[in-house]
Amino acid sequence: MSDSSIGRPRTTLKGISSRAWEHPADRGALVALRKLKGFDTILRRFSAFLNERAVKMMLLGSAVRVSDRQFPRLQRLYADAAVALDVQELPELYVQASPIFNAMTIGIDKPKIVLNSALIDLLDDEELRFVMGHELGHALSGHALYRTLLQYLILFGSTLTSVPFGGIGLLALRTALGEWARKAELSADRAGLLATQDVQSAIRVNMKLASGGHLPDLDQTEFLAQAKDYEESDDLGDSIMKLILVNDATHPMNVVRAAEIRRWVDSGAYGEILAGTYPRREDDKDAKISDEAAAAAKSYADRFQESEDSLAKLGRDIGGGLSDLGKWVGGRLRSE
If you write DSSP's letter for every residue of 204-257 in order, what string do you get?
Answer: HHHHHHHHTS-GGG--HHHHHHHHHHHHT---HHHHHHHHHHHTT-SS--HHHH
d(CA 282, CA 279): 9
Q: Would you say 68 and 178 are in contact if contact means Cβ atoms under 8 Å apart?
A: no
Residue type at 90? L
> Range with the lowest mean pLDDT among 86-90, 182-186, 218-222, 232-236?
232-236
> Range with the lowest mean pLDDT among 30-34, 105-109, 184-188, 307-311?
307-311
pLDDT score, position 31: 62
Strands 112-116 and 103-106, sheet pairing: antiparallel
Residue-wise pLDDT for 233-277, tens only, equals 777 677 777 777 777 777 889 999 999 999 999 999 999 999 999
* Among the listed residues 286, 294, 219, the one whose alpha carbon sits nearest the alpha carbon of residue 258: 219
The residue that leads in pLDDT, 163 or 199, is 199
Residue-wise pLDDT for 69-101, tens only, equals 999 999 999 999 999 999 989 999 999 999 999
pLDDT, mean over the chain: 78
d(CA 157, CA 173): 11
Q: What is the pTM of this model?
A: 0.77
Of the pLDDT bands very low, low, confident and very high (cuts 50, 70, 90), residue 154 is low
The residue that leads in pLDDT, 312 or 269, is 269
Of the pLDDT bands very low, low, confident and very high (cuts 50, 70, 90), residue 284 is confident
Q: Helical H runs in 63-165?
A: 72-84, 117-122, 125-141, 143-160
Q: Check pLDDT > 50 for residue 322.
A: no
pLDDT score, position 328: 42
User: SS3 for 139?
Assistant: helix
d(CA 267, CA 287): 23
Residue type at 266? D
* Dihedral pair phi/psi, residue 69, rounded to 5°: -110, -10
CA 17 to chain centre: 16
